[in-house]
Chains A and B, each alone.
Chain A
Amino acid sequence: MSETPVKDEKPKKDMKDVLAAVETIKCPVQRSLKFVEEFLSEPMCGKCHPCALGSFEAMVRLKRISSGRGTQGDVAAIQRIADEMLEASRCIKGKDTAKFLLNELKTGSFKEHLEGHCGERECLSYIMFKVIPEKCVLCGLCKDACRYNAITGEKKVSYRSGYLPFEIRQKRCVKCGECVPACTYGAIEVIEEKSGVLV
């Protein structure tokens, strides 16, 4: 009976830390996701089902929306989870999480995400980086700046005819955004993945 798992150890993070962690995030979907992840990682005690199982499910749904695979059903599920968690959670932590989600839902941003807009451009799967060929001078600075070898292309050599244009390989791109300031001609722009519109 000696080594029963230690219980009731005081969590290192509390709800204030969770709030602090999401302070700098602007996109409601990202904020909610981070909030729930942080909440699950420490302060959630797991003593009642609506909160313990509900917030996990909310995380699953938020990840789906954040990755661009979200549906109406996901938003409805989050709404239901938040409503019921507020009603049925045992303690203030669960209720606070529910309130947070409800507030974020009110912004309407979740629905926008379903249509492919992330207003704050923080949901990386909603955007892509692209080299605009008309502006590109084939200098190669972006290629040097990219740490992930996601940019292909050849520097223009004046006596050679033909060239390999600079392009961003989307599969390799991690959307770190470091190439944007590297381009002195402003030839790398962010566009919305779904619509192809500049943002």
Chain B
Amino acid sequence: MGKIINLKIDGKEVRVEEGTNLIDAAQTAGIHIPNLCYLKGMKGIGACRLCLVEMEGGKAPVIACNTKVKEGMSISTNTEKVREVRKFVIDLILSMHPLDCMTCTKAGVCNLQQYAYDFEIKESSFSRKKFGYPVDEANPFIKRDPEYCVLCSRCIRICKAQGTNVLEFSGRGVGAKVVTANDTPLQESTCTFCGNCIDVCPVNAILESDRWRKGREWEYTKTDSVCLSCGNGCSISVSGKDGEVVKINSGSPDGMAERFLCAVGRFGFDSIRSDTRVTVPMKRVDGELKETSWEDAIATLTEKLKAAGPDAAFISSGNILNEDAGLLKKLAADVVQTKNCDSTVSLYSDYDSMNSATADLENADLFVLAGIAPDQWKRVLPALDAIVRKRVNEGAKLIVMHSGEPKIASAANVFMKGDEIKMIEELGQAVISKGVKAPKEMIEALAHINPSDEAMNAADLFAASKSPVILASPSLYKAAANLSLIKGDAVAIPFEANAKGVVMMGMTTEDKKFSDIVSSSTKLLYAVGEMPVKSRPDTGFLVVQNSHMTDLATQADLILPSAGALESEGTIIDYLGRIKQVNKACTPAGESRQNSDIFIAVAEAMGTPLKKAKDTDVKKSVKTKVKVTLSPFRKEKGLDIDAEQFIEDIRTSTVNGSRLLWLKELEKTVAV
């Protein structure tokens, strides 16, 4: 926390932190200073001039978006003079903006509409300007209609900040237009269709392409939830109408680097209504899958489970909810009494690394990426890529350690290419050689290392940093966390949204690991969620519990339809160890049920009833404070998986069942 500054806004006493700008300061006092171009969390550019305010003792009005609070200052936000300026600017913008609010999708949440109302401008007093720009709507994600653009450049700035850099102005003044390179349609540009420009557009110029006549903002019921498509577990805000999901926006607070969603999180929701959904239980009869009732399905399962006993095995994906994971473990260990119960997490991580502590990405001044390659373009942990790039654009430093050539290396201050363990050791030794305090054992352990020039450069950044954050792949976590003994925090980055939760809820094996279970012979295999297993493992009876008909499900003996991500309720623990609430945005399709309800029904049929997990159970299981101790500088063996392939596998149903398939096909054609 910085120093607290006292100032007066419209006569109200306001106390805010040093460095706050006037718009944010006024917001804390409930005063809205009009603006079109201000983007919270970014430097004000003063283009729209709507935020002009008068300062006591100041000669001319100042822009509130780029003026920092000063002790004792007194500002008036609504004087005659600034009202006239605001009216003038809105009047000018309206002269080049279609006046079709009655059919405009953005009505109700359009800033321009609001200000026109506030300043009593029915229509512009200036001459009408019309440009006849074509609408870019050839893709199923984002529609861009330059006719509505108010030239605030928010989309351009957000696109640049997160490193995608697709949009730019062409021309100046009235003739300016937001374009891609060479003014091509989005799909021919380097656009990743993350849609973050949609979130920031104050008007109807950039919008989800299928929003037309799907209701306006005031008709929606909003549900805060979490995207479970990859290890980032981004917060989402789901808008629903008549029980259907209409759109998804980022759910993180305004102004945070975390406020990001990728195309999968924003547009993948189509898949909950796709043809590949399984909505009724199915049983293999005479070699063919036939629909059946829940009673029959559970009776069949109970019989098989009883017969298999300790020879049964349970596997789950790493993005089932905490409550579901806790119950699944109990079902396996207490009811069926088997020791073979594991999740896909063990494919890429050891259990200890998943207990890793938290870190503050928003205030970190140095990022060290060890062995991970977040990539927005390949949609591998895209949010992490965007967060790091945004923070780097704001002045944070970045060190990338990777044996390959990750795209994020181009944004790095120092790229240490080579074996990650060696790089970690070199950086450690280099930092120690700069005279930074480190534990004695570590100094001894690294004494034999001779750091390279790159390591010395990186060490300069590390030594100068106040709050470094080390983001490591799970297999490197223990080694990388050693650096956090010098300073900063280290976290392991899993590939699945609730990997940490699943492990903390006890979905860990006492006998065979996931890879052993699927490669060895079992009497019964109970697979929950989407996992990178395509062909049927050697098992006497295969039960697949999933929301979609996956390759594995087509080979199952019994399919139990579970609710999709937006149809379930519970919690997850994200990669930063935070508990995030997952809420139900729509009712489960058909007869599908949430995982935990199925487990409870099975347990009851087995004669050992289980109770639903409570919030406190989850909280108890989460170890937020993990003490890092010096570990050997060693990579965990057997955890090398292709992150891109893995993430693609676990979201196959989401992609194939939604408009993302269009993008996948497009990328395939471009790649050829």
Residues of chain A at the chain B interface (Cβ within 8 Å): 1-5, 7, 40, 44-50, 52-57, 60-61, 77, 80-81, 84, 87-90
> How many A-B contacts if CB must be within 8 Å?
90
Tell yes or no: B452 within 8 A of A by CB: no
- Complex formed: what's the CA distance from A17 to B72 in Å? 44
Query: Is B169 in contact with A5, judged by CB distance below 8 angstroms?
Result: yes
Selected from A2, A53, A84, the residue in CB contact (under 8 A) with B181 is: A2
Tell yes or no: B89 within 8 A of A by CB: yes
Enumerate B84-140 residues with CB–CB distance to A below 8 Å: 84-85, 88-89, 92-93, 95-96, 125-127
Contacts of A40 in B (CB 8 A): 173
Given contacts A49-B89, A53-B96, A88-B89, contact A60 B49 (CB under 8 A): no
Q: How far is the CB of A73 from chain B (nearest CB, A)?
A: 8
Contacts of B182 in A (CB 8 A): 3
Contacts of A56 in B (CB 8 A): 173-174
Query: Is A44 in contact with B173, judged by CB distance below 8 angstroms?
Result: yes
The residue on A at minimum CB distance from B150 is A49
Given contacts A5-B179, A49-B93, contact A61 B127 (CB under 8 A): yes
- Complex formed: what's the CA distance from A103 to B6 in Å? 43
Query: Is B47 in contact with A47, judged by CB distance below 8 angstroms?
Result: yes
Additional A-B contacts beyond A87-B60, A88-B61 (7; CB < 8 A): A5-B170, A49-B48, A53-B96, A57-B92, A57-B127, A60-B127, A88-B49
Listed residue (A4, A49, A50, A87) with the most chain B CB atoms within 10 angstroms of its CB: A49
Query: Is A53 in contact with B92, judged by CB distance below 8 angstroms?
Result: yes
The residue on A at minimum CB distance from B87 is A84
Contacts of A61 in B (CB 8 A): 127
Given contacts A1-B190, A53-B92, contact A45 B172 (CB under 8 A): yes
Given contacts A1-B181, A5-B179, contact A48 B93 (CB under 8 A): no
- Complex formed: what's the CA distance from A51 to B252 in Å? 35
- Complex formed: what's the CA distance from A52 to B88 in Å? 13
Query: Is A49 in contact with B172, judged by CB distance below 8 angstroms?
Result: no
Q: How far is the CB of A50 from chain B (nearest CB, A)?
A: 5
23 pairs of residues in contact across A and B, judged by CB atoms under 8 Å: A1-B166, A2-B181, A5-B169, A46-B173, A47-B47, A48-B48, A49-B47, A52-B151, A52-B174, A53-B89, A53-B93, A53-B96, A53-B173, A54-B88, A61-B127, A77-B126, A81-B88, A84-B85, A84-B88, A87-B81, A87-B85, A88-B61, A88-B88
Query: Is A3 in contact with B181, judged by CB distance below 8 angstroms?
Result: yes
- Complex formed: what's the CA distance from A49 to B50 in Å? 9
Contacts of A2 in B (CB 8 A): 181
Q: Digitize B162-185: 1 where CB-to-A-CB distance is under 8 Å, 0 elsewhere.
A: 000110111111101001011000
Tell yes or no: B400 within 8 A of A by CB: no
Q: How far is the CB of A110 from chain B (nearest CB, A)?
A: 17
Listed residue (A1, A81, A89) with the most chain B CB atoms within 10 angstroms of its CB: A1
Tell yes or no: B52 within 8 A of A by CB: yes
Query: Is A46 in contact with B172, judged by CB distance below 8 angstroms?
Result: yes
Query: Is B61 in contact with A48, judged by CB distance below 8 angstroms?
Result: no
Selected from A7, A81, A90, the residue in CB contact (under 8 A) with B49 is: A90
Residues of chain B at the chain A interface (Cβ within 8 Å): 45-49, 52, 60-61, 81, 84-85, 88-89, 92-93, 95-96, 125-127, 151, 165-166, 168-174, 176, 179, 181-182, 190
- Complex formed: what's the CA distance from A167 to B52 in Å? 59
Contacts of A60 in B (CB 8 A): 126-127
Contacts of A54 in B (CB 8 A): 88, 92
Query: Is B125 in contact with A77, judged by CB distance below 8 angstroms?
Result: yes
Contacts of A87 in B (CB 8 A): 60-61, 81, 84-85
Query: Is A53 in contact with B49, judged by CB distance below 8 angstroms?
Result: no
- Complex formed: what's the CA distance from A1 to B166 in Å? 7
Contacts of A49 in B (CB 8 A): 47-49, 89, 92-93, 151
Q: How far is the CB of B182 from chain A (nearest CB, A)?
A: 6
Contacts of A77 in B (CB 8 A): 125-126
- Complex formed: what's the CA distance from A50 to B166 in Å? 27
Q: How far is the CB of A48 from chain B (nearest CB, A)?
A: 5
Query: Is A52 in contact with B170, judged by CB distance below 8 angstroms?
Result: no
Q: How far is the CB of A63 from chain B (nearest CB, A)?
A: 10
The residue on A at minimum CB distance from B47 is A48
Contacts of B47 in A (CB 8 A): 47-49, 90
Contacts of B190 in A (CB 8 A): 1
Given contacts A1-B190, A2-B181, contact A88 B173 (CB under 8 A): no
Query: Is A88 in contact with B172, judged by CB distance below 8 angstroms?
Result: no
Ranked nearest first, the 7 interchain pairs of A and B with the lowest CB-CB distance are A46-B172, A52-B173, A53-B92, A84-B88, A46-B173, A56-B174, A88-B85
Query: Is B95 in contact with A57, judged by CB distance below 8 angstroms?
Result: yes
The residue on A at minimum CB distance from B160 is A4
- Complex formed: what's the CA distance from A44 to B174 in Å? 11
Selected from B45, B85, B95, B168, the residue in CB contact (under 8 A) with A7 is: B168
- Complex formed: what's the CA distance from A53 to B126 in Å? 10
Contacts of A4 in B (CB 8 A): 165, 168, 181
- Complex formed: what's the CA distance from A88 to B81 in Å? 10
Q: How far is the CB of B527 from chain A (nearest CB, A)?
A: 42
Query: Is A52 in contact with B89, judged by CB distance below 8 angstroms?
Result: no
Q: How far is the CB of B61 from chain A (nearest CB, A)?
A: 7
Contacts of A90 in B (CB 8 A): 46-47, 49
- Complex formed: what's the CA distance from A84 to B179 in Å? 30
Query: Is B170 in contact with A1, judged by CB distance below 8 angstroms?
Result: no
Contacts of A84 in B (CB 8 A): 84-85, 88
Listed residue (B88, B95, B181) with the most chain A CB atoms within 10 angstroms of its CB: B88
Given contacts A3-B182, A56-B173, contact A50 B89 (CB under 8 A): yes
- Complex formed: what's the CA distance from A131 to B84 in Å? 52
Contacts of B48 in A (CB 8 A): 48-49
Selected from B85, B95, B169, B172, the residue in CB contact (under 8 A) with A50 is: B85
Query: Is B126 in contact with A57, judged by CB distance below 8 angstroms?
Result: yes
Contacts of B173 in A (CB 8 A): 40, 44, 46, 52-53, 55-56
Query: Is A50 in contact with B176, judged by CB distance below 8 angstroms?
Result: no
- Complex formed: what's the CA distance from A47 to B173 in Å? 8
Selected from A1, A46, A88, the residue in CB contact (under 8 A) with B176 is: A46
Q: How far is the CB of B304 from chain A (nearest CB, A)?
A: 56
Contacts of A53 in B (CB 8 A): 89, 92-93, 95-96, 173-174
Contacts of A52 in B (CB 8 A): 151, 172-174, 176
- Complex formed: what's the CA distance from A81 to B84 in Å? 11
Q: How far is the CB of B49 from chain A (nearest CB, A)?
A: 5
Contacts of B96 in A (CB 8 A): 53
Query: Is A48 in contact with B165, judged by CB distance below 8 angstroms?
Result: no
- Complex formed: what's the CA distance from A53 to B170 in Å? 15
- Complex formed: what's the CA distance from A90 to B45 in Å? 10
Contacts of B49 in A (CB 8 A): 48-50, 88-90
The residue on B at minimum CB distance from A60 is B127
Contacts of A5 in B (CB 8 A): 168-170, 179, 181
Q: How far is the CB of B82 from chain A (nearest CB, A)?
A: 9
The residue on A at minimum CB distance from B180 is A4
- Complex formed: what's the CA distance from A56 to B128 in Å? 12
